[in-house]
Structure 1
Amino acid sequence: MTTPSTDRGRSSRARIVDAACDLFYERGVAATGLNDVVSASGTGKGQLYHYFQDKPDLVLAVVHAQVERTMQPQQSPLDQMRHADDLRAWANQAVLAHSGGQPARCPLGALVSEVADHHDGLRHALDEGFTRWRSVLTIGLTRLQQRGIARTDREADDLAEVLLCAYEGGVLMSEVRGHTAPLRLALDAALEVVLEGSGVPG
């Protein structure tokens, strides 16, 4: 992977990655060709191959970009988590993010089934992305435990994993069903688990 040394180069590379993020999310990795990415990004094939060795190299860049896309809108709410209602607001936001008529799909989860079994580097990058996401949840949940809001008989990291698994499973079932009710049900159940025994009403 070539790192651009000029603003113009960085802009071209960013357009390629952004276009690939959108296309891989909408169509899937296998169904998207490099020519599709070139056309959607308004760049040339020579530019694409200047910055990326091959398609797996581009997919790796997309994984890193999708981690940022996933984390940025969640970072602030999770950093500011102080009350049970803050945790519920995070869950509500997660549901609303998939309520606009588009397929319910997690930007990271959508890549797992297509790339994780075929490339160790991609699987590692996805795992790092989910680990970062879980770590941010863990920090917020630790704060809730310290305030007596989240249950303390389980590690905050375990509770974060419960929420993350509920989200990913709920998104998958919502994609199949064509509506967000499964995601809402999964997150509500996970919230009950996280708050169980804390004395905070469900």
Structure 2
Amino acid sequence: MPMKPGTLTAKGQETRRRIVAAAARLMFENGVADTTIEEVRARSGASNSQIYHHFADKAALVRAVIEFQTDAVLEPQQCLFTRLDTMEGLREWRDFAVDRQRELNCRGGCPIASLTSQLAEHDEAARLQLAHSFRRWSAGLQAGIAAMHAKGVLRPGVEPEALATVLLTALQGGLLLAQLNRDTRPLEIALDAALAHIESQLAGPGGR
């Protein structure tokens, strides 16, 4: 019976982490459908018995990969989320996203979105988990905007949740076009338009 992560020894946790990291890399490179347990075994250096000790089947491994990729995307942004209560902080987050794509030469796109496109129409459990991943992302954005709203920086009727959705949608669309064009310009345009919309909702002279 597969072990739960919280009940593992330190060595078991490291083996599980290595398996999931290898599976995540392979699924990102080759796609979920074309990634086999045998390839994961070879890439991770784990044995088949170790893999099945941690995961009942490939579907369980996919669930773990979704969690792994979500954490990998969101953790570098955590410190930025705390500064999204100003336009300067929002622009810093925008620059982080653009600079990250430059580092990657606009290859790969968003790992969470990649999994979504492959799984959402064929795996209901995965779809729900991925929807939760995007809600986590949106919540990080929303918290900063809500703080801005609470300080009276934004107009009283503004909905922070809606503005967070605008930002996340602009980011995802921009990432897709940046990947296709191997150019950050579409991402810059999309995020700048989203920030301009937020700026138009300022309560002070900058708002319109």
Superposition TM-score tier, normalisation by shorter sequence: over 0.9
Name the CA distance, whole Å, in 2 between partners of 1:109 and 1:181.
19
Is residue 103 of structure 1 aligned with residue 107 of structure 2? yes
The alpha-carbon distance between structure 1 residues 192 and 186, as it changes in their structure 2 partners (threshold 3 A), is: same
CA contact (8 A) 1:149 1:200 kept: no
Name the counterpart of 1:58: 61
Q: Among the aligned pairs, what percent are the same residue?
A: 35
CA contact (8 A) 1:151 1:194 kept: no
SS of residue matched to 1:132: helix
SS of residue matched to 1:184: helix
The alpha-carbon distance between structure 1 residues 187 and 150, as it changes in their structure 2 partners (threshold 3 A), is: farther
Name the counterpart of 2:131: 127
The alpha-carbon distance between structure 1 residues 83 and 56, as it changes in their structure 2 partners (threshold 3 A), is: same
CA contact (8 A) 1:142 1:156 kept: yes
Shift of residue 150, structure 1, vs aligned partner: 4.0
Name the counterpart of 1:163: 167
Name the CA distance, whole Å, in 2 between partners of 1:129 and 1:116.
13
Name the CA distance, whole Å, in 2 between partners of 1:122 and 1:180.
29
SS of residue matched to 2:35: coil
Name the CA distance, whole Å, in 2 between partners of 1:180 and 1:31.
29
CA contact (8 A) 1:104 1:180 kept: no
Is residue 91 of structure 1 aligned with residue 94 of structure 2? yes
The alpha-carbon distance between structure 1 residues 127 and 39, as it changes in their structure 2 partners (threshold 3 A), is: same
Shift of residue 197, structure 1, vs aligned partner: 3.4
Name the counterpart of 2:33: 30
Q: Paired residues, what number?
A: 202
Shift of residue 15, structure 1, vs aligned partner: 0.2
Name the counterpart of 2:182: 178
Deviations 1:166-187 (A, max 9, x none): 1111111111111111111111
Shift of residue 148, structure 1, vs aligned partner: 4.1
One-letter code of the match for 1:70? V
Name the counterpart of 1:19: 22
The alpha-carbon distance between structure 1 residues 11 and 148, as it changes in their structure 2 partners (threshold 3 A), is: same
SS of residue matched to 1:145: helix
What 5-or-longer segments of structure 1 have no aligned partner?
Answer: none
Which structure 1 residue ranges, 4+ long, deviate > 3 Å from structure 2?
Answer: 147-153
SS of residue matched to 2:101: coil
Deviations 1:53-102 (A, max 9, x none): 11111111011111111111111111133321110000110111111225
What 5-or-longer segments of structure 2 have no aligned partner?
Answer: none
Name the CA distance, whole Å, in 2 between partners of 1:41 and 1:151.
52
SS of residue matched to 2:43: helix
Name the counterpart of 1:40: 43
RMSD: 1.8
Shift of residue 151, structure 1, vs aligned partner: 4.8
The alpha-carbon distance between structure 1 residues 32 and 132, as it changes in their structure 2 partners (threshold 3 A), is: same
Name the counterpart of 1:116: 120
Name the CA distance, whole Å, in 1 between partners of 2:40 and 2:134.
26
Q: TM-score with structure 2 length normalisation? A: 0.90
Name the counterpart of 2:148: 144
Shift of residue 108, structure 1, vs aligned partner: 0.7
Bigger mean CA deviation after superposition, 22-31 or 86-95: 22-31
Name the counterpart of 2:83: 80
